[in-house]
Structure 1
């Protein structure tokens, strides 16, 4: 199976597409202005006791929601004789979630700096290991080395480390070097913040595309191709050697990269609520505030024996792909074509679970109701594709 990661620009946004045998399985779109991860010196504008939260201004006119329930430890920069958050306090905060519709951005006092192998966190001490590799011998060895470097026989620093999954295949030297670099960066941010005024931006994370490259499972990829020289150079500067080895700069001016891979067509079809199947059936995907409803229709399907089951099986596979492409989340209710036999229903559910496991995009199968509706759920991971491209485009029919 040929796998390729394509990075280009489309409609003014950076788009990353993952192809398996020329079929697009994943679309990631960088928002034009993404504040997530930035660290600011903010000023408390209001404390709302009945909501147990505060509103912190990080730039002139930009206020963020700050949960007092989730943030027990606060990063005050002004002299205090109480641990309570008060109006006028100067605090160091990090943006954890973008503003969405009428909701303001969310800020947190739990600061974090993410590296290729290590995450530095301000709300922990010591070294922990990602759950996927917590028993890996090499990771446990690295954990001991980090503890010896930062904690044993020394004053306890105001931060902790999390070893990421890819440390299982990394040499010790770059992991330790990165941890030291992050520690120095954190101490520089917190040290300088004491002498600077409110609304100062103390930290700007790398562009999302660089973070995406860091999190790629390189062993599964044959090639990474981009037509953006700036991204190519950034990847060369920050990405791992394994990424650099598979990275190629596309320079054909006659045929743009997005046209070579038909990304305009893929995007247009993915934004359309109707998805046609090879059998002649189709899906209708309706996104609402409360949930996403999916209806499977027979359409132009030629009705033969087992044709409803075959269309449902095809729809199940395409549905799982569409959930990932569209970045759908929350409750997803699916109305498949009614099947008369119980054995056919069981076959459909079994196939759906298999496709969910293969796609590995965080979809959870919940149940099939007495009315034959399939319930799925998926944790929210940023805006949906429709929200990112909400430009009033016409639906295809």
Structure 2
């Protein structure tokens, strides 16, 4: 698979587009409005309310900005000021990290189990597990587990990411020790700072999008804007040096990068409700507060026989998987296919969908097809959906 990343301005805002085999697979707005909190930022917050009946607390991280926090995520936190003897009390000040950005009517969510994410590993404060990405080949995964035995004395939890598969033992352990030192420095800093201090900003706006890119499969990172190029170069020099040789500056003034790859049309399509497929059939994608519904319609496709319906459904499964990843949809997803008949068709469709979501770096589970012939899918929440991210970025329509 040929995978490249393209950073360009579309509608006066920078985006990072991940292109796989000539098709846009992911879209990441770079940066957001200044008045929003961003996933990964770390603050010293103050507990404003504790609600045992819903097992939640509300923690203020900026004056007037209260965030939801599950009690299970707060009681074992790093406290800078304790107001009472209970595990969590109103007035307590503790270090929290933005877990989810505000979406719709929902407030941002934070957790006291703060973590630092690097290209090769994730360190967490209260989760003491030592783990390795399941996407790493089994033999290599077991080898890395033996390497981690040298980190048994650590006070942090460690998860080794997929990118670490190409590292030597020395390189991985050096990266872990570097992360540990950064983490301890942050905690020491928290002891001397006042409430509402931002201990860690989101950093270079494009870094979050780059973290999920596999170094082994990324062929090029193309950037057009000179200032954006310098930002990427500085970030890669300090955090991802192995990607530096793939960073390229695009300088054709006659054919801008967004025109070369039709990025404006790709963005508009990723935000539209209706998606046409080659067969003439189409999908209607409708996110709601509780779940996302995808309806498959035969449209202009020639249908009538069971075999024709199955072919449309198989095409729709592949396109639905693509759109779920492209739009960063998460939570519960229901897909209403057309004219399912027989157990064999259901099995074929489930198998096709599971194969289609396998390339998604975000955990996606294809559950089953219900008695109402709705396919059930769940996808881990990883940041906000693309539509919400675009709105927060302040992109012009």
TM-score over 0.5 (shorter chain): yes
Give the superposition deviation at 1:266.
0.9
Aligned equivalents of 1:165, 1:37: Cα separation in 2: 19
Aligned equivalents of 1:283, 1:166: Cα separation in 2: 34
Aligned equivalents of 1:264, 1:52: Cα separation in 2: 44
Give the superposition deviation at 1:101.
2.4
1:37-85, CA deviations, whole angstroms, 9 ceiling, x for partnerless residues? Answer: 2222222223334333332222221122232233331322236672532
Which residue of the partner structure matches residue 363 of structure 1?
A: 364
Is structure 2 residue 73 aligned with structure 1 residue 56?
no
Residue pair 1:138, 1:168 contacting (<8 A) in 2 also: no
Residue pair 2:82, 2:91 contacting (<8 A) in 1 also: no
Which residue of the partner structure matches residue 214 of structure 2?
A: 217
Is structure 2 residue 165 aligned with structure 1 residue 164?
no
Give the superposition deviation at 1:261.
0.7
For structure 1, list consecutive stretches of 5 or more residues without a partner in the other structure: 152-156
Which residue of the partner structure matches residue 154 of structure 1?
A: none
The range that moved more, 254-263 or 375-384, is 375-384
Aligned equivalents of 1:68, 1:232: Cα separation in 2: 38
The 3 A distance-change label for structure 1 pair 279 and 235 is same
Is structure 2 residue 189 aligned with structure 1 residue 189?
no
For structure 2, list consecutive stretches of 5 or more residues without a partner in the other structure: none
Residue pair 1:4, 1:222 contacting (<8 A) in 2 also: yes
Aligned equivalents of 2:130, 2:348: Cα separation in 1: 45
The 3 A distance-change label for structure 1 pair 330 and 84 is closer
Aligned equivalents of 1:312, 1:318: Cα separation in 2: 10
Q: Which has the higher contact order (CA 8 A, sep 6+)?
A: 2
1:165-215, CA deviations, whole angstroms, 9 ceiling, x for partnerless residues? Answer: 333321334333333333332232222322222111112243352233233
Residue pair 1:213, 1:239 contacting (<8 A) in 2 also: no
Aligned equivalents of 2:291, 2:198: Cα separation in 1: 36
Aligned equivalents of 2:129, 2:72: Cα separation in 1: 24
Give the superposition deviation at 1:360.
6.1
Is structure 2 residue 112 aligned with structure 1 residue 109?
yes
The 3 A distance-change label for structure 1 pair 289 and 223 is same
RMSD over equivalenced CA pairs, Å? 3.0
Aligned equivalents of 2:155, 2:294: Cα separation in 1: 48
Which residue of the partner structure matches residue 387 of structure 1?
A: 388
Which residue of the partner structure matches residue 179 of structure 1?
A: 176
Which residue of the partner structure matches residue 322 of structure 2?
A: 321
1:240-290, CA deviations, whole angstroms, 9 ceiling, x for partnerless residues? Answer: 343222221212233221221111101111211111122222122222223
1:273-331, CA deviations, whole angstroms, 9 ceiling, x for partnerless residues? Answer: 11112222212222222322222222222347543333222222211111111122223
Aligned equivalents of 1:67, 1:275: Cα separation in 2: 37
Is structure 2 residue 38 aligned with structure 1 residue 41?
no
The range that moved more, 124-133 or 181-190, is 124-133
Give the superposition deviation at 1:12.
4.5
Aligned equivalents of 2:292, 2:282: Cα separation in 1: 16
Residue pair 2:330, 2:381 contacting (<8 A) in 1 also: yes
Which residue of the partner structure matches residue 98 of structure 1?
A: 101
Structure number with larger C-alpha Rg: 1
Residue pair 2:122, 2:158 contacting (<8 A) in 1 also: yes
Residue pair 2:332, 2:378 contacting (<8 A) in 1 also: yes
Is structure 2 residue 5 aligned with structure 1 residue 2?
no
Which residue of the partner structure matches residue 331 of structure 1?
A: 332
Please give the TM-score of this superposition, normalised by the length of structure 2.
0.85
The 3 A distance-change label for structure 1 pair 256 and 51 is same
Aligned equivalents of 2:111, 2:346: Cα separation in 1: 46
Residue pair 2:163, 2:215 contacting (<8 A) in 1 also: no
Q: Secondary structure at the match of 1:27?
A: strand
